[in-house]
Amino acid sequence: MKARVTVTLKNGVLDPQGQAIEGSLASLGFGGVKGVRQGKVFDLVLDGSDEEAARTQLTGMCEKLLANTVIENYQIEISN
Amino acid sequence: MKARVTVTLKNGVLDPQGQAIEGSLASLGFGGVKGVRQGKVFDLVLDGSDEEAARTQLTGMCEKLLANTVIENYQIEISN
């Protein structure tokens, strides 16, 4: 089973990396960019075929390792 | 208009960060993880409402700044 976990900064959390990218895009001539926020994506391959069990396990992984839940949100997508 | 650009390593490109995460997940007791690959996600806010123009502009941003197309793939999703 394959899963994708997307980790993004919560609203209101400062994102200097995103701001730097926004500045660079403007320097390169890409106008009209009003905001950039950078996040992380994890593509996992999991054993087993129980989607509910996989979701529970992935939630645990996010809470313990993949995301800092103080400042980040996570989103789990599972595909077979 | 909002857009999400997801940048992932191409198949065959070594991902030491993903391997480290895979090892950490095993140490934390999460069994059955057969592979982890880490990528990046960029959430952009763009001016204008022409989806086709936005896609062209985003492709340029990926080719020039957001992705290293030698080792990375990118995927563009646009939502209004």
Question: Which residues of B are less than 8 Å from A73 in CB distance?
Answer: none
Least CB–CB distance from B6: residue in A31, A41, A57:
A41
Least CB–CB distance from A39: residue in B36, B43, B65:
B43
Distance from CA of A71 to the nearest CA of B (A): 16
Question: Which residues of B are less than 8 Å from A39 in CB distance?
Answer: 40-43
Helix (H, G, I), strand (E, B) or coil at B5: strand
Which stretch of DSSP H or E encloses residue B54?
helix B51-61
Per-residue confidence (pLDDT) for residue A20, from 0 to 100: 98
Tell me which chain B residue has its CA closest to the CA of residue A54. B32
Q: Structural domain tally of chain A?
A: 1
Q: How many CB atoms lie within 10 A of CB B48?
A: 11
Per-residue confidence (pLDDT) for residue B15, from 0 to 100: 97
Per the structure, the complete domain to which residue B69 belongs is given by 2-79
Residue-wise pLDDT tens digits, B25-46: 999 999 999 999 999 999 999 9
Bridge partners of A38, per DSSP, are: B42
Tell me which chain A residue has its CA closest to the CA of residue B67. A21
Residue-wise pLDDT tens digits, A16-70: 999 999 999 999 999 999 999 999 999 999 998 899 999 999 999 999 999 999 9
Per-residue confidence (pLDDT) for residue A80, from 0 to 100: 77
Per-residue confidence (pLDDT) for residue A75, from 0 to 100: 98
Question: CB B21 to CB A45 under 8 A?
Answer: no
A-B CB pairs within 8 A amount to: 94
Cα(A41)–Cα(B49) distance, integer angstroms: 27
Question: Which residues of A are less than 8 Å from B46 in CB distance?
Answer: 32-34
Cα(A73)–Cα(A7) distance, integer angstroms: 6
Burial of B25 (0-12, 13-18, 19+ CB in 10 A): buried
Decide if pLDDT at B3 tops 90: yes
CATH assignment of the domain containing A9: 3.30.1280.10
